[in-house]
């Protein structure tokens, strides 16, 4: 591989906000640190990051009022044209943005039909129906199929890699070297990094406060919030004192009604969207991510940096870098509220276990660096260049 590459990084939004966006941004920063040239081809940006070897090119924005299927098709055509018009490039790297002709693709969402494999019975039937009748689902399936033609396919975790391999029968067209797993790094966006770790420890161990769990995310069923609330109802029925904070979602009338009907209004609090995540993590002792669909899951790792113990379902990507009973508790059945309740209870009543898990969790999080992500990306580029 040449010492210096010119990489086209194709992403819808070049930003440090959000999971996919942060992943792409840190990758670009790392490539520049290694001396490569990067041209970011995107629809929009709010990043102020600048570098002598960085160029930003914009393609036409999609009509946000248009149907999802129309927006997907627009991105496909606009991104493909922008790459052709501004090339040639040594490597064209798509961050799961629909396009044709990518050398490397980093996938950030599971396949369109993932719920068919991991959802409840009625969710599986609904997902099958959407795959047949929903234009947006069919369009997304086809666009991902086109992206899968890239010589090198990258994934944040093996569970997602295997989902794509099975769905698109990729082993017929790709060898094992074509698949690269590149876990995301663990850190906070810049606007959340002003709090210090000592303050977090003091607040988290304040005496007299109920044991506090933290859920971070926007999905209700995909993120497993429905299972978590059911587990909380079981926990309360056992007479256990606890609190659950939900960051990323604002309580709507339906959410308030649900909490009232479940008898959880006093235990559960919706925080809405928060930029000061250090302050949010400071109020909790554990994070919970009982997702059905989760390519990786950065929130548990961010919490681990500050000593919070993660409880995650086995179908999440992040569970692959954790060890049950060592630095985390793994929910084996992601649809079981009873099993989740038992894990929550275990953390509350076994402080020695909690402290041991907390110490190990910090160490695991410290090893998940963006430098490792960039090295895996460069390995993907080497594989692509060798295929030429």
| Sheet (strand 104-106) strand order | 54-58, 37-45, 6-14, 91-94, 104-106, 152-155, 179-181
pLDDT for residue 201 is more than 70? no
What confidence score (pLDDT) does residue 189 get?
Answer: 59
pLDDT for residue 205 is more than 80? no
Q: Which of 24-28, 261-265, 277-281 has the lowest mean pLDDT?
A: 277-281
What is the tens place of the pLDDT at every residue in 153-182? 999 999 999 999 999 999 999 999 999 999
Q: pTM surpassing 0.75?
A: yes
What is the tens place of the pLDDT at every residue in 20-47? 999 999 999 999 999 999 999 999 999 9
Domains of the chain: 6-185+369-387 (3.40.50.2000), 190-367 (3.40.50.2000)
DSSP state, 350?
A: -
Tally of CA atoms within 13 A in the half-sphere of 260 that contains its CB: 7
Q: Let me know: does 186 contact 304? Beta carbons within 8 Å.
A: yes
What is the tens place of the pLDDT at every residue in 313-352? 999 999 999 999 999 999 999 999 999 999 999 999 999 9
pLDDT for residue 115 is more than 80? yes
| Cα distances (Å, whole numbers) of residue 120 to 117, 133, 333, 344 | 9, 20, 12, 22
Distance separating alpha carbons of residues 154 and 161, to the nearest angstrom: 8
What is the tens place of the pLDDT at every residue in 41-74? 999 999 999 999 999 999 999 999 999 999 999 9
Question: Across residues 368-380, what is the average pLDDT?
Answer: 97
């Amino acid at each position: 591989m040449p010492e210096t590459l010119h990489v086209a990084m194709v992403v819808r939004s070049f930003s440090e906000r959000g999971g996919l966006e942060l992943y792409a941004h840190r990758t670009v920063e790392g490539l520049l640190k290694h001396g490569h040239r990067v041209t970011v081809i995107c629809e929009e940006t709010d990043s102020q990051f600048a570098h002598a070897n960085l160029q930003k090119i914009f393609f036409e924005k999609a009509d946000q009022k248009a149907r999802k299927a129309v927006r997907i098709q627009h991105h496909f055509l606009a991104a493909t044209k922008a790459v052709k018009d501004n090339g040639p490039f040594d490597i064209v790297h798509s961050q799961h943005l629909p396009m044709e002709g990518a050398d490397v693709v980093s996938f950030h969402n599971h396949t369109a039909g993932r719920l068919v494999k991991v959802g409840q019975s009625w969710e599986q039937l609904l997902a099958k129906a959407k795959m047949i009748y929903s234009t947006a689902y069919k369009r997304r399936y086809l666009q991902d199929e086109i992206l899968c033609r890239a010589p090198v396919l990258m994934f944040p975790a093996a569970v997602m890699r295997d989902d794509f391999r099975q769905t698109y029968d990729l082993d017929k067209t790709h060898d094992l070297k074509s698949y690269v797993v590149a876990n995301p790094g663990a850190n906070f966006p810049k606007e959340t990094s002003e709090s210090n770790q000592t303050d977090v420890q003091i607040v988290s161990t304040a005496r007299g406060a109920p044991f506090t769990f933290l859920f971070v995310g926007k999905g209700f069923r995909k993120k497993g919030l429905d299972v978590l609330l059911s587990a909380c109802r079981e926990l309360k029925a056992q007479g256990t004192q606890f609190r659950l904070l939900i960051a990323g979602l604002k309580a709507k009338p339906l959410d308030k009604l649900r909490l009232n009907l479940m008898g959880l209004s006093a235990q559960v609090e919706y925080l809405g969207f928060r930029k000061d995540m250090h302050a949010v993590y400071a109020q909790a002792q554990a994070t919970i991510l009982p997702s059905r669909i989760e390519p990786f899951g950065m929130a548990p790792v961010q919490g681990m940096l500050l000593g919070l113990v993660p409880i995650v379902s086995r179908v999440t990507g992040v569970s692959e870098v954790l060890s049950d009973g060592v630095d985390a508790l793994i929910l084996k059945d992601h649809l079981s509220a009873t099993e989740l309740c038992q894990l929550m209870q275990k953390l509350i009543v076994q402080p020695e276990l909690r402290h041991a898990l907390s110490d190990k969790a910090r160490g695991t999080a410290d090893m998940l660096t963006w430098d490792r992500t960039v090295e895996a990306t460069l390995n993907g580029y080497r594989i692509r260049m060798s295929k030429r």
